[in-house]
Amino acid sequence: SAVISQKPSRDICQRGTSLTIQCQVDSQVTMMFWYRQQPGQSLTLIATANQGSEATYESGFVIDKFPISRPNLTFSTLTVSNMSPEDSSIYLCSGSPSGGSYNEQFFGPGTRLTVL
């Protein structure tokens, strides 16, 4: 199974600023995903990070707020832009080694973001 690391593990930010979260996988994965987990809630998919093309966003999430990069098959970044306290969440990235399949995903440890 793939091992996924994220940086930073946690951060406290001021409203109006932006934070970029990095996700590194120790092997090539076809699909990478970004999720948000608000306090006490389940995971909500933000977007699918596509290598070599724009990310595919879920309903309620837009590129201007959550720009994503995927420069290669082992790395992706998520930026949370113009932050407000409502953005305080855990952000998780995941990877799926199976081409075109969502059947199994391996998750990073998450980035715990607090916006003041």
Partner 1 sequence: GDSVTQMEGPVTLSEEAFLTINCTYTATGYPSLFWYVQYPGEGLQLLLKATKADDKGSNKGFEATYRKETTSFHLEKGSVQVSDSAVYFCALAGTALIFGKGTTLSVSS
Positions touching partner 1 (CB under 8 A) are 1, 4, 6, 33, 41-43, 45, 48, 58, 92, 94, 101-110
- In the complex, the smallest distance separating the C-beta of residue 109 from partner 1, rounded to whole angstroms, is 4
- In the complex, the smallest distance separating the C-beta of residue 82 from partner 1, rounded to whole angstroms, is 26
Which residue from 62, 57, 2 is spatially nearest to 29, judged by alpha carbons? Answer: 2
In the bound state with partner 1, the residue whose beta carbon lies nearer, of 6 and 74, is 6
Asked if residue 37 lies in contact with residue 43, where contact means CB atoms within 8 angstroms, the answer is: yes
- In the complex, the smallest distance separating the C-beta of residue 62 from partner 1, rounded to whole angstroms, is 18
- In the complex, the smallest distance separating the C-beta of residue 16 from partner 1, rounded to whole angstroms, is 28
In the bound state with partner 1, the residue whose beta carbon lies nearer, of 14 and 59, is 59
In the bound state with partner 1, the residue whose beta carbon lies nearer, of 53 and 103, is 103
